[in-house]
Structure 1
Amino acid sequence: MDSSPGSTPYSAPTGCPMRGERQTSLYGPEFASDPQRVYDAFRAHGLAAPIELAPGVEATLVVQHEAALRVLQNPSFFARDARRWAALREGRVPLDSPVLPMMAYRPNCLFTDGTEHLRLRKAVTESLGRLNTTRLSRDVERIADYLIDQFIERGSADLLGDYAKLLPLLLFNQLFGCPGDIGDRLTRSMSAIFDGEDVLRANAELTECLMELVALKRRQPGEDITSWLIQHPAGLRDEELKDQLVMLMGAGVEPERNLIANALLLMLSSDTGVAQRRGTGMLVEDALDDVLWNNPPIANYATHYPVQDIDLGGVTLKADTPVLISFAAANSDPALTDARQTLSKGAHLAWGAGPHVCPAKSPAQLIALTAIEKILNTVPDLALAVPPSAVEWRPGPFHRALVSLPVIFSAAPARRTTASAAQSPVPSRNITPDEMPAAHYDHAEPQKKTKGWWSSFLDVFRV
């Protein structure tokens, strides 16, 4: 088996129509418009396929449910430590690649194995276990109220940019115990990373503000996840604390906003097109289950690295090359016909499986449920402003994410308005990192700064 630096990470079985073909790109608009067509084509030729995640970044994508479980549940053969990634070590992956923030090694429980993984995961799961569900629901409702007030007087909104995107960002500021300035910078930098905008600078700012937060919480602990991680018997170092927080935001913000937006799209969709009111009678819980099966927020991820060349159902996975799990393709595997007919919650892989299964499944579902119920109850005549077929999906290899979710409704007075809140811009579309209401990355002079979302929220609620 060729393991030279220029070799492909994938070897198809002899006779496979895909043998010798170039990798399929997962980052362009063609894939985003109809990923299921790509998954079906992959599955017709085998249980895995060669892909390109970004220019110059090759990997293998596992698309069959049983094969996905074999990878996810066998850490002795499939490691998560990205320092094994041969192409990155050998300089064959561009250091400014937009996928590196999601794939490069960090000392957190997502990218570690064995006893180190157990130590870090225990700190995370036990800290998350201290969350009070009543308080969590109340926090979600307060943030939702604040965001709805920013657009309810308009009679139109982009529920992705104005609501689903911002709500989890602000919620994590609350859960982490962020003061105003740190929270504004955290919101802006995470938004930039998820949107692939100037990721090197955004990652540097993210690191800076989280290290400031860790130092602050060591001096002034509170009832928040940052303080609980600091106090945990695992004795996490500052760098480890910072990277557990990065992992929690990465695993909680992008998937959460996609879960909320994708479920809202499903509930607001109808066969007759524009401006149709929600009348299907679908329960929010059923919409969330449907999305987790058919449009999972994180579609392709869980990067593993074979510790040696491994034969997986006739496909040779080469050592130290990235192998990703397609949760979306595994969920649509024809072998799951019975489970799919009932949308059995125990069969889909949207939350992962094995030792790295999502540790925040219950809080994540509660957040999405609360956020969706709040917007539907507050704006009861919410309707899509375009036909469902006209809604666009955001390109990218990892997520199943909308570009925007335009809606219309009857305008109503905002319930809470203050001078501070009025300083925040009221976007009518999906905002970009540069439009986040906070100081620019070049740290504009103080008199030119505007309040960020988190600072403005704190001014309104004084939490």
Structure 2
Amino acid sequence: MSCPVLHGSPVDTNDDRFPLYGEEFTRDPRAAYEVLRGRYGTLAPVELAKGVPATLVLDYATAVRILHDPEHFPVDPRPWQQTVPDDCPLRPMMEWYPAARYTDGYEHARYRQASAAAIDEVDLHAMHATVENLATPLVERWITAGSADLASQYVFPLVFAVLNQAIGCPAEIGQRVAAGMAARFDSTASSGQGMDMLTGALTELVHLKRAQPGDDMTTRLMNHRDNLDEREVVAQLMSFYGAGIEPQRNLILNTLHLMLIDDRFGGGLLSGSLSTRDALDEVLFNDPPMANFCTTYPRQPTLIDTTWLPAHQPVVISIAACNSAPITNGDRTGNRSHLAFSTGTHTCPARPMAYQVAEDAIDYLLDLAPDIRLAVPADELEWRPGPFHRALTALPVVFPAPNRSGMPQRSS
């Protein structure tokens, strides 16, 4: 195999780079990963957007090595930012903010301690009732109709409402946060405007909590002993929403999709042999909600295998491709060695909360509509384009409509 020594280099011609934003990748990313692995091995030259080169990590062991070596593979994107234009559609998604995700060393420890403390004090026992109470009015709107789009009518509004409550964000501010986050993830020309909307809304939330503190993640961030300033609090909140909306939405939808098409779950969601937790783990292996993420920027030119990684250029972990490496033989039921929550110093601190909210959201839905079915053939479902996420545009379903009197009562 020839040595593609200019992976990620801005002076490369990009002619041979595989676009992670194109129709071919969106339609069948697994096939794309196999083609790239066969052609380049563990590290492949890709484009995240037109004119934005990067190196994609396709091997599990290589990914773990990189993610456990922040000295050589820092997450700070600021040197890279200087090489891309201000109107680059990926800048809002990838540019530096004073948050744990974009820092290493002392600053990372400071931000992570504050963030973890805010998350750890969320009452996960009470979260069961929170999910049910917030899900019930959503389900009431469509349960008697016998059909719904679970993406827009259940999963997104539920995930959004649960996170808003944990963060202490009022609905009006939250709507602007959601719009800004959506633009940020879609990596379009409007992503910059979305970031302006997002930071404005979160700044307003911080001002509100300064005047009206509560038992919520925002107040705990503001009161943490590390004394984060306003911009730093906003940056941590941005990370909370970034990790708590898009990945969580995709995790739930991708799991429901699996349970609806896989015979091990019986076709009907309550008749299969595997549990919701089993399905969640399988999705985190095979169809992770953030398929390509955990970006690092080598501090200096670095040789891995036969590939030179240039300094300060994005090295993106393909979580989906790495998870498909032969980590285990045969059945992966109960195996959680996937990289969906990253590993190393930047492992997601909200893993227990993410699992619980996803499991509760799915189980509550199954209690109300156990005979749910896809409303269209599985191959007609559409996936949103983009280099980072694995996300359905919609999940239309049909089911026998129960009697109105059969609706459960909300928990008090």
Q: 1:377 to 1:82 in 2, by over 3 A?
A: same
Q: 1:360 to 1:229 in 2, by over 3 A?
A: same
Contact 1:149–1:416, Cα closer than 8 Å, also in 2: no
Q: Which amino acid aligns with 2:68?
A: Q
Taking the aligned partners of 2:6 and 2:147, their CA distance within structure 1 comes to 57
Match of 1:50 in 2: 45
Q: 1:81 to 1:376 in 2, by over 3 A?
A: same
Q: 1:4 to 1:104 in 2, by over 3 A?
A: closer
Q: 1:242 to 1:159 in 2, by over 3 A?
A: same
Match of 1:407 in 2: 397
Contact 1:140–1:171, Cα closer than 8 Å, also in 2: yes
Match of 1:179 in 2: 170
Identity %: 41
Match of 2:66 in 1: 71
Taking the aligned partners of 1:143 and 1:183, their CA distance within structure 2 comes to 15
More divergent stretch after superposition (229-238 vs 388-397): 388-397
Taking the aligned partners of 2:115 and 2:63, their CA distance within structure 1 comes to 25
Taking the aligned partners of 1:399 and 1:315, their CA distance within structure 2 comes to 26
**Count of aligned residue pairs for this structure pair:** 400
Taking the aligned partners of 1:43 and 1:326, their CA distance within structure 2 comes to 11
The one of 62, 86, 96 equivalent to 2:87 is: 96
Match of 1:139 in 2: 130
Relative to the length of structure 2, the TM-score reads 0.91
Taking the aligned partners of 2:305 and 2:274, their CA distance within structure 1 comes to 40
Taking the aligned partners of 1:135 and 1:187, their CA distance within structure 2 comes to 24
Gaps of 5+ in 1: 10-19, 418-460
Q: 1:100 to 1:213 in 2, by over 3 A?
A: same
- 2:1 is aligned with 1:7: no
The one of 358, 367, 373 equivalent to 1:383 is: 373
Taking the aligned partners of 1:406 and 1:209, their CA distance within structure 2 comes to 32
Taking the aligned partners of 1:43 and 1:170, their CA distance within structure 2 comes to 40
Gaps of 5+ in 2: none
Contact 1:146–1:416, Cα closer than 8 Å, also in 2: no
User: How far does residue 191 in structure 1 lie from its aligned partner after superposition?
Assistant: 3.1
Match of 1:41 in 2: 35
User: How far does residue 413 in structure 1 lie from its aligned partner after superposition?
Assistant: 6.0
Contact 1:149–1:415, Cα closer than 8 Å, also in 2: no
SS at match of 1:78: coil
Taking the aligned partners of 1:416 and 1:218, their CA distance within structure 2 comes to 44
Q: 1:96 to 1:142 in 2, by over 3 A?
A: farther
CA deviation vs aligned residue, 1:10-52 (integer Å, no higher than 9, x gap): xxxxxxxxxx851100012210111111111222231100100
Q: 1:267 to 1:220 in 2, by over 3 A?
A: same
Q: 1:170 to 1:195 in 2, by over 3 A?
A: farther
SS at match of 1:107: coil
- 2:351 is aligned with 1:358: no
The one of 296, 315, 323 equivalent to 2:315 is: 323
Match of 2:23 in 1: 29
Taking the aligned partners of 1:240 and 1:357, their CA distance within structure 2 comes to 20
User: How far does residue 363 in structure 1 lie from its aligned partner after superposition?
Assistant: 0.4
SS at match of 1:321: coil
User: How far does residue 159 in structure 1 lie from its aligned partner after superposition?
Assistant: 0.9
The one of 144, 158, 177 equivalent to 1:153 is: 144
Contact 2:8–2:310, Cα closer than 8 Å, also in 1: no
Q: 1:343 to 1:99 in 2, by over 3 A?
A: farther
User: How far does residue 301 in structure 1 lie from its aligned partner after superposition?
Assistant: 0.6
User: How far does residue 410 in structure 1 lie from its aligned partner after superposition?
Assistant: 2.1
- 2:388 is aligned with 1:398: yes
Taking the aligned partners of 2:25 and 2:310, their CA distance within structure 1 comes to 25
SS at match of 2:144: coil
